[in-house]
Amino acid sequence: MVKKIINNIYIQYFLMTSLILGALVCIFPPQNFFFKSLAEYAIQIMFGYLFLGMFFLILKQPRLMFTSLVACSIIAIHLKTNTNPDLKKPQPTENQTIIKVALINISNINEDPDGAINSMLTSDACILSIPNIDPIVYEFLRDTLAEKFPYYSQRIGFDPGIAVFSKFEISNQDTFFVDDLPNIVGSIKPDSQNQELFFISSTTLPPFYAKDYDRLKTQLNRIAEKASAINAPILTLADYNLVQWSDEIHDFRNKAGLKDSRRGFSPSGAGDNVFGSFFESPRDHIFFSNHFKCIGFENLESSSSQHLGIKGSFQFKPIPVTPTAAAVQ
């Protein structure tokens, strides 16, 4: 019955057109909340097209099989062009400090507070950025983390609040607001060469309407302006509530001149199980300027396997040595 319906040439043309339009919507979503939300599941849709291609192969429908695989390829190319282009992870430089920075999600901290604290303390990160934090949790973490993270910068009392804990003294502290959302700017000197690392840690709100994407874009534009104005080694980190292949993130990275520390476009580790993770695309990101090389990226989990956040490992790129006049002669 199914094969008889699919053999109808008009049905085939309709399905072929729908398949191609579906792929184009993932790449060029209209300014509509439904389509913007649909584009966030581009990975899952890509695999859906792949399985459809195999299904049509079994049914011996070459037109539909070819169209499905073309649509799958189009989305795969789109995803690849919006991720870190470095296919090979850079090797660490010997005798140079490795700077580890973590973005912490405390939404599950009440389920396993001891496990979450232990993961933070053993993460070996020099900076912990914790958005969406309330005053009670902030005071608890400040006291608990004080021995390893004696320095902090916080904007508590706002909804949502944000805090940054550091092993090194935080200098150049500043805060800017976008639609009442705090964004913390600061710098640390984490290596023996006294090089300064700037950071911008932000808190955002998830989109529920089409206009919320405009709000996120406005905030990202302000962050990009700040990062460009600093014009120094910088990391930006936040749960941006946007997938890495979204137009907003793509434009932000281009404007700020930043790279994505996450390689590839694998699903998030935030799900409760394998299937939950597959249907949950990552929305938390750590971006870095060209002054660094990213030598590692991983998901953080508490002892009870609850998703706790992400961690990036970085090293400063060697500073080019300019030959002196005497050396040239």
Contacts of 71 (CB under 8 A, 6+ apart): 19, 20, 22, 23, 49
pLDDT at 71: 96
Residue 44 shares a structural domain with residue 132: no
Contacts of 70 (CB under 8 A, 6+ apart): 20
Written as six digits, the tokens of 61 are: 């429908």
Residues 93-134 have pLDDT tens digits of 888 889 999 999 988 787 778 888 988 999 999 999 999 998
Q: Average the pLDDT over 3-14 and give the result.
A: 83
pLDDT at 202: 95
Burial of 191 (0-12, 13-18, 19+ CB in 10 A): middle
Residue 92 placed within a domain? no
Residue pair 151/169 in contact by the 8 Å Cβ criterion: yes
Q: Average the pLDDT over 275-280 and give the result.
A: 59
Residue 12 shares a structural domain with residue 60: yes
Which range is most confident: 216-225, 265-274, 304-313? 216-225
Residue 86 placed within a domain? no
Residues 142-161 have pLDDT tens digits of 999 999 999 999 998 777 89
Residue 167 shares a structural domain with residue 49: no
Task: Please give the single-letter amino acid code of residue 265.
Answer: F
What domain range is 301 assigned to? 99-316
Quick check: 270 pLDDT over 70? no
Q: Average the pLDDT over 83-99 and give the result.
A: 79
Burial of 308 (0-12, 13-18, 19+ CB in 10 A): buried
3-state secondary structure 279-318: CCCCCEEEEECCCEEEEEEEEEECCCCCEEEEEEEEEECC
Residue 168 placed within a domain? yes
Quick check: 26 pLDDT over 60? yes
pLDDT, mean over the chain: 87
Of the listed ranges 25-39, 177-191, 294-308, the least confidently predicted one is 294-308
Residue 158 shares a structural domain with residue 21: no
Quick check: 74 pLDDT over 80? yes
Residue 241 shares a structural domain with residue 168: yes
Domain boundary among 81, 110, 136: 81
User: What angle separates helix 62-81 from helix 42-58, to the nearest 10 degrees?
Assistant: 160
**What stretches of the chain show up as alpha helix (H) in DSSP?**
2-6, 9-27, 33-39, 42-58, 62-81, 113-121, 135-145, 210-230, 247-256, 274-278, 325-328
Residue pair 281/43 in contact by the 8 Å Cβ criterion: yes
How many domains is the chain built from? 2
Residues 199-212 have pLDDT tens digits of 999 999 999 888 99
pLDDT at 264: 67
Q: Average the pLDDT over 287-309 and give the result.
A: 86
Of the listed ranges 4-8, 99-103, 194-198, 266-270, the least confidently predicted one is 266-270
